[in-house]
Amino acid sequence: MAEPKAFILHLERAAQRRPQVDLLRSALPLASEIVAATDGALLSPQQVDAVYRRQLHRPRFSHPLNRAEIGAFLSHRAAWRQIVGQGLDYALVFEDDAAIDAEAFARTCAFARETRAQWDYALAPAPQTRIAGAVVAEQHGVALIRPKNPPLRAIAQFVSNDAARKLLAATEKFDRPIDTLLQMRWVTGVELLALKPSGVQEQSGALGGSTIQRKSMGLAEKLRHEIARPIYRAQVRAWSAFARKPGK
């Protein structure tokens, strides 16, 4: 298979993020490409209906996705198609608010290559992301961890060709945000591991905030959301524990 490369998901109209994308590309220790992110605001109702269906999987996801969340999911699918189509052994997939410490991330990349046989999908989280779980491998000051509770936020990840194929097959239709779906190994068939520390940082705040931020919710809707969120997270933890492979 072809050598790995990086794909950076970038929404063209988010022009304030392009300098950060260029900085990221210049700091990466491998070849990179920009993947045009899907602009959810431009999706027709027919395009939305073709890929999105509410409450498709268990546990049920409580609220409908907005157009930006649907676009973000489709953008990750575009990167997975590139991995498969270009015959890459694996690739790094970044969102366009990611930044790296070049030296630390080079260690992460070297470690990921050396441990390639032990992962198919490995999250590269920002430093503030708390990850507790079993250490699968450790070297160069970097650990490959099997999280007890899979973390959220798909800012950067290492995705193998096999994982990309499985994820594409499992997400022809989807019902929740990309990072939430990736927690669900019983749906995707892909086990989520994590690299810590990763050398990846999130620059969303410095770039004007999230491009998928929800509009202000009314009091009743906010209350329902706050009540549903811990219940849903507990359900995911329970399903994750049940789905975990024996001995892991």
pLDDT tens for the 248 residues of the chain, in order: 899 999 999 999 999 999 999 999 999 999 999 999 999 999 999 999 999 999 999 999 988 999 999 999 999 999 999 999 999 999 999 999 999 999 999 999 999 999 999 999 999 999 988 899 999 999 989 999 999 887 888 799 999 999 999 999 999 999 999 999 999 999 999 999 999 999 999 986 666 555 555 555 566 566 666 666 677 778 877 877 777 553 44
Rounded to the nearest angstrom, the gap between the alpha carbon of residue 154 and the centroid of all alpha carbons in its chain is 3
DSSP per residue over 89-135, as a string?
A: SEEEEEETTEEE-HHHHHHHHHHHHHTGGG-SEEE---TT----EEE
In a domain, residue 182? The reply is: yes
Let me know if residue 183 belongs to a domain.
yes
Residue 34 pairs with which residues in a beta bridge? 8
Q: How many CB atoms lie within 10 A of CB 237?
A: 14
Does any domain span residue 239?
Answer: yes
Which residues lie across from 122 on neighbouring strands?
158, 193
Q: What's the total number of domains in the chain?
A: 1
125: left (phi over 0), alpha (psi -120 to 50) or beta: beta
Q: Is residue 81 part of a domain?
A: yes
Asked if residue 211 is part of any domain, the answer here is yes
CA distance 79 to 159: 10
Q: CB 180: neighbour CB atoms within 10 A? A: 20
| Residue from 32, 144, 177, 25 nearest 91 by CA | 32
Output the pLDDT for position 16: 93
Q: Is 235 helix (H, G, I), strand (E, B) or coil?
A: helix
Asked if residue 248 is part of any domain, the answer here is no
Q: According to the 3-state scheme, what is the secondary structure of 41-86?
A: HHCCHHHHHHHECCCCCCCCCCCCCCHHHHHHHHHHHHHHHHHHHC
CA–CA–CA angle 215, 35, 98 (5° rounding): 60
* CATH number assigned to the domain comprising residue 80: 3.90.550
Q: Model-level pTM?
A: 0.88
- In the DSSP assignment, the letter for residue 4 is P
The domain of 197 spans: 5-243
Check residue 246 and give its pLDDT: 37
H or E element: which one contains 191?
A: none
d(CA 202, CA 214): 19
Residue 82 lies in a domain: yes
* pLDDT recorded at residue 203: 85
pLDDT for the residue numbered 166:
98
Q: Is residue 20 part of a domain?
A: yes
